[in-house]
């Protein structure tokens, strides 16, 4: 964790224990951090698993193997290494992952395919197998830790620990979801763009859990961006232990499925927002709301073109209501748009309508809005009923400082 906490940070929430989920942390020493860097989460037998993974074609072995093994539907353990992403390390990196899976599977007496591994940190350095072995051994013997300790341990350049919770009623049973996430740079959508983990005591069939996670991902993790760069390691996994004792959810026909889906999307959105709030150098949290597009997907793409535009992000950093840059970003998105139907606003005040600056546009309320921490950009394309909301942060000197000397 970095010393200077993001000004957009929120306190770590009170997260309850989840029956069947036991987090532990240890110190493998992947970097010379004076803190734990290996997180181990043990899951009860019969836990369902689902996952979404980066589409970066240069992905890590962790992602390659996770993508295959998540299909068998069961998860007994999760191991997260922080400080080394083990990406682009060829067969040596893959051997390290397989060693961890075998070591944990031996300990639990389960199939190694039920052990999920993630790694995050520098690219191109094979995960040292000796440090991994000793770290896992130490974690297996460690006492249960808090969610906040686990959240802190999976972090790298994060400046604060990130967690979220929600509940849902399934029949007469209250089920609980707890989730943690890490991420602040190399964040772009089109996939799960960070390491995030959702744990619930609900009973959910693996295939349905996958369906719900994929759908939630599209409206949450796939709607955020920090810097348009896409990690080689990004992963979101959901684990459902079934210990709450509800009748297992198998489809939207199962009673309580809608409530659970809403709660899952809720924690995913909370996690996604937390990543943006810890965006490298972020000083402002920006919500881009696009309406009037030809489809929801078109609206999302326009929103991301705005949210990824360095000129829009620096304008917000400078507290400048430069809506012309928003026009530019809409125009370059490659989506249907008509200059003469386009309207742009900030924080609920329209600056331009139907292709022209408003004659009576009063910049004072917009200027006041832009001096705040929570910024709204509203775009109406005037073409159809498609809409989307996308979240990002501003682009500041802090981003340059963090990234011009990250590895050295």
Residues in 80-109 at the binding interface with a copy of itself, rule: CB under 8 A:
85, 87-90, 92
Nearer to a copy of itself, 117 or 240 (CB): 117
CB 305 within 8 A of CB 332: yes
- Give the Cβ contact number of residue 5 at 10 Å: 12
Q: In this chain, which stretch among 196-204, 205-213, 287-295, 397-405 interacts with a copy of itself, using CB under 8 A?
A: 397-405
Radius of gyration of the chain (CA): 22
Distance CA 130, CA 96 (A): 9
Among 352, 382, 384, 389, binds a copy of itself (CB under 8 A): 352
Given the residues 47, 159, 193, 200, the one annotated as active site: 193
In the residue annotation, 193 being an active-site residue is answered as yes
134 near a copy of itself, judged by CB under 8 A: no
71 near a copy of itself, judged by CB under 8 A: no
Sign of CA dihedral 356, 359, 364, 369: negative
CB 256 within 8 A of CB 161: no
Nearer to a copy of itself, 55 or 133 (CB): 55
372 near a copy of itself, judged by CB under 8 A: no
Among 26, 337, 366, 377, binds a copy of itself (CB under 8 A): 337
CB 16 within 8 A of CB 176: yes
Closest by Cα among 273, 257, 275 to 215? 257
DSSP state of 358: -
407 near a copy of itself, judged by CB under 8 A: yes
Among 309, 349, 387, 392, binds a copy of itself (CB under 8 A): 309
Minimum gap (Å) between residue 337 Cβ and a copy of itself: 5
Q: In this chain, which stretch among 6-14, 37-45, 157-165, 332-340 interacts with a copy of itself, using CB under 8 A?
A: 332-340
282 near a copy of itself, judged by CB under 8 A: no
Residues in 179-198 at the binding interface with a copy of itself, rule: CB under 8 A:
185-186, 188
Q: In this chain, which stretch among 12-20, 67-75, 172-180, 328-336 interacts with a copy of itself, using CB under 8 A?
A: 328-336
Helices and strands of the chain, counted as H and E runs: 11, 15
Strand 162-170 to 173-182 pairing: antiparallel
154 near a copy of itself, judged by CB under 8 A: no
Closest by Cα among 7, 135, 42, 44 to 82? 135
Minimum gap (Å) between residue 280 Cβ and a copy of itself: 9
19 near a copy of itself, judged by CB under 8 A: no
> How far are the Cα atoms of 83, 97, 145, 193 from residue 105, in angstroms, in the given order?
23, 12, 21, 27
DSSP 72-125: G-B-SEEEEEEEE---S-HHHHHHHHHHHHHHHHHHHTS-GGGEEEEEEEESSS
Closest by Cα among 71, 72, 69, 73 to 97? 69
Query: Three-state DSSP class for 357?
Result: strand
What amino acid positions are annotated as catalytic residues?
A: 193
Interacting residues with a copy of itself (CB under 8 A): 55-59, 85, 87-90, 92, 122-125, 185-186, 188, 227-232, 308-311, 314-315, 317-318, 320, 322-325, 327-332, 337-340, 342, 352, 355-357, 395-397, 399-401, 403-408
């Amino acid at each position: 964790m970095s010393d200077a906490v993001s000004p957009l940070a929120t306190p770590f929430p009170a997260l309850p224990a989840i029956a069947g989920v036991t987090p532990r942390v240890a110190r493998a020493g992947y970097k010379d951090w004076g803190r734990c860097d290996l997180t181990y989460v043990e899951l009860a037998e019969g836990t369902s698993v689902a996952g979404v993974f980066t589409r970066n074609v240069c992905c890590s072995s962790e992602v390659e193997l996770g993508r295959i093994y998540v299909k068998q539907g069961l998860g007994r353990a999760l191991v997260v290494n922080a400080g080394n992403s083990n990406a682009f390390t060829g067969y040596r990196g893959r051997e390290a992952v397989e060693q961890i899976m075998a070591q944990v599977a031996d300990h639990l007496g389960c199939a190694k395919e039920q052990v999920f591994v993630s790694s995050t940190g520098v690219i191109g350095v094979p995960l040292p197998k000796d440090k991994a072995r000793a770290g896992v051994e130490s974690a297996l013997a460690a006492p249960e830790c808090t969610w906040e300790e686990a959240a802190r341990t999976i972090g790298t350049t994060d400046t604060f620990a990130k967690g979220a919770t929600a509940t849902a009623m399934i029949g007469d049973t209250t089920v609980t979801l707890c989730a943690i996430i890490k991420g602040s740079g190399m964040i772009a959508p089109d996939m799960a763009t960070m390491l995030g983990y959702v744990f619930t005591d609900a009973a959910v069939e693996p295939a349905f859990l996958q369906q719900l996670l994929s759908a939630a991902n599209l409206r949450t993790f796939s709607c955020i961006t920090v810097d348009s760069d896409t990690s080689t390691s990004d992963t979101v996994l959901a684990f459902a232990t079934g210990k709450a004792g509800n009748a297992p959810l198998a489809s939207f026909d199962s009673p309580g499925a809608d409530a659970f889906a809403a709660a899952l999307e809720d924690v995913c959105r909370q996690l996604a927002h937390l990543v943006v709030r810890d965006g490298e150098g972020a000083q402002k949290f920006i919500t881009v709301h696009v309406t009037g597009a030809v489809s929801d997907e078109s609206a999302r793409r326009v929103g991301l073109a705005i949210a990824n535009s360095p000129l829009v992000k620096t304008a917000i950093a400078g507290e400048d209501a430069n809506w012309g840059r928003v026009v530019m970003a809409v125009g370059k998105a490659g989506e249907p748009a008509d200059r003469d139907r386009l309207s742009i606003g900030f924080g609920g005040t329209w600056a331009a309508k139907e292709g022209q600056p408003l004659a009576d546009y009063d910049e004072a309320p917009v200027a006041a809005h832009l001096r705040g921490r929570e910024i709204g950009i509203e775009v109406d394309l005037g073409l159809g009923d498609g809409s989307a909301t996308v979240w990002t942060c501003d682009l500041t000197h802090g981003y340059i400082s963090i990234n011009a000397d990250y590895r050295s």
